[in-house]
Homo-oligomer: A and B are copies of this chain.
Amino acid sequence: MKDKKPKNVFKEGAISSEFIATSIEKHQSKTSIGAHNIFLGQVRADTIDNKTVSAIEYTAYEEMAIAKFHEIREAAFNKFDLNCMHIYHSLGKVNVGEICMFVFVSSPRRKEVFKAIEYIVEEIKANVPVFGKEIFEDETHQWKVNS
């Protein structure tokens, strides 16, 4: 289901497992799909200089981010044989152990979903202006940088 209008992929706070389940369920009527691949980013309790991350607070240059998500979406539909593609990213505070990104691709055949999911996730990491403030348990913070 390809569409041309940029979607807002941002969601306030963590992405719940119920939301993911509902999204999976919606695809059961699409009977030309044979394979789904789902990537989930989860906030890690990293320890830096003896301080442990308790949450990440996400912000974005939303206008540019939405344009970039749209470009990535269009490029992925052109490169891979996909039935559908969904991308969601959190804004605001996401606690450790919670889901901050949900990428979902579906195709008639499995080979396509493996290539597509990696492409999309890497493109998001590299090109979408989302910023993450890692908040430590003692309320201090540092700014996350994607590796």
Which residues of A are in contact with B by a Cβ distance under 8 Å? Answer: 17-18, 20-22, 24-25, 27-45, 96-99, 106, 108, 110, 113-114, 117-118, 121, 125
Contacts and interface: CB of A to CB of B under 8 A. Distances in A.
A31 B118 contact: no
Contacts of A29: 97
Contact of A38 (B34, B40, B97): B40
Contact of A21 (B17, B34, B44, B96): B17
A43 B36 CA distance: 11
Contacts of A43: 31, 34
B32 A45 contact: yes
B36 A39 contact: yes
Nearest to A19: B21
B17 A25 contact: yes
Contact of A118 (B42, B108, B114, B121): B114
Contacts of A30: 97
Given A17-B25, A20-B21, A32-B44, A39 B98 contact: no
Nearest to A15: B24
B32 A117 contact: no
Contacts of A106: 42
Nearest to A44: B34
B42 A28 contact: yes
